[in-house]
Amino acid sequence: MVLPRDYLLLSVVALIFCGSSISAAAAGDVTAGRKIAHQHCARCHVIDEKNKFGGIGSTPSFKLLVTAFKDWRTRFKTFYARRPHPALITIEGRGRLREDLPPNAHPIELSSKAVDDILALAEDIRRSATKP
């Protein structure tokens, strides 16, 4: 017989073990992520078909990032802390924008929600790229 406290325990266990499989995309918005990526990331990265000839040749496309790296989710969750991004990107409430950038660099300030939105976009690109 399952008692009410057992349901609580099962719920906690489910959150612990299954919570990580709940996509971070649920917290983010793919459309907003696409808009943010095209506004800020497309200078260096190919995002999708809209800028398939854009970006910098030595910079990986979003599709390559989500298909070639096993840790792609971590990379997207922490992109702002990975080189060269810290030189340009600040997350709102987590530091301050640099003022000593060269004239050709544009500082970017994003919200935590924007990071979730970009991750949601990455999840969407991953789904599309791995469809049979």
Position 4 pLDDT exceeds 80: no
Confidence category of residue 26, pLDDT binned at 50, 70, 90:
low
Q: Is 92 inside any structural domain?
A: yes
Asked whether 23 and 76 are in contact (CB, 8 A), the reply is: no
Position 25 pLDDT exceeds 60: no
Q: Is 89 inside any structural domain?
A: yes
Q: Is 3 inside any structural domain?
A: no
**Rounded Cα gap, residues 11 and 15, in angstroms:** 6
Q: What pLDDT is stored for residue 114 in this prediction?
A: 97
Q: What domain count does the chain have?
A: 1
**Rounded Cα gap, residues 14 and 28, in angstroms:** 22
b/e burial code for range 80-99 (CB count within 10 A of at least 16 → b): beeeeeeebbbeeeeeeeee
Of 17-21, 22-26, 120-124, which one has max mean pLDDT?
120-124
Question: CB neighbours of 18 closer than 8 A, spacing ≥ 6?
Answer: none
b/e burial code for range 55-73 (CB count within 10 A of at least 16 → b): beeeebbbbebbeeeeebb
Greater model confidence, 22 or 10:
22
Give tens-digit pLDDT for 64-97. 999 999 999 999 999 999 988 988 899 988 876 6
Q: Is 16 inside any structural domain?
A: no
Q: What pLDDT is stored for residue 106 in this prediction?
A: 79
Confidence category of residue 28, pLDDT binned at 50, 70, 90:
very high
Read off the DSSP letter of residue 55: S
Q: Is 15 inside any structural domain?
A: no
Residue-level length of the chain? 132
Q: Is 116 inside any structural domain?
A: yes
Q: Is 2 inside any structural domain?
A: no
Which structural domain range is residue 101 located in?
25-129
Q: Is 102 inside any structural domain?
A: yes
